Structure 1
Amino acid sequence: MSSKDKIADGPVLPPKPDLPDCCAGGCATCVLMDYADEMAAWRAECARITAEFDARKATENPR
């Protein structure tokens, strides 16, 4: 997508950890678990923005 096609900025997608970042040792605070938490928060923020947009669109264009 070119910059002229960009409509709005959204939440920043968390960077995926590199495989060497995980030692596969079962750490209590594994970078992959942190990434999963960050992705869940990102998805929730995307859902919140979508719901807000849909609600605004519905009030501006009632059928």
Structure 2
Amino acid sequence: MRTTIARAATKAATTLLRLHRTRRNAWMLSRLSDAELKDIGLRRSDIPFVASGAREHFAD
């Protein structure tokens, strides 16, 4: 029982951290100018995919 509760708490904390990281990444990228985004090979429309860590959007 304790293990189940600990795993649930760990999963909840991990999810919250991931959401916070996603929002922070999106905020940081959205603050860049179009020229800065171009320098790193991105467009404004790429920000949601990059911030969430979606790898399939950029698959070669």
TM-score norm. by structure 1 comes to 0.51
Bigger-Rg structure (1/2)? 1
- The percent identity for this pair of structures is 6
The one of 9, 20, 32 equivalent to 1:49 is 20
Alignment root-mean-square deviation, CA = 0.8
Which ranges of structure 1 fall in alignment gaps of 5 or more residues? 1-29
Q: Following TM superposition, where does structure 1 have runs of at least 4 consecutive aligned residues deviating by more than 4 angstroms?
A: none
Amino acid at match of 1:61: L
Equivalent residues, number = 34
Show CA shifts across 1:8-61 (max 9, x none). xxxxxxxxxxxxxxxxxxxxxx01100000000000000000000000011001
- Tell me the equivalent position of 2:7: 36
Q: Relative contact order (C-alpha < 8 Å, sep 6+): which is higher? A: 1
- Tell me the equivalent position of 1:24: none
Q: Does 1:61 align with 2:8?
A: no
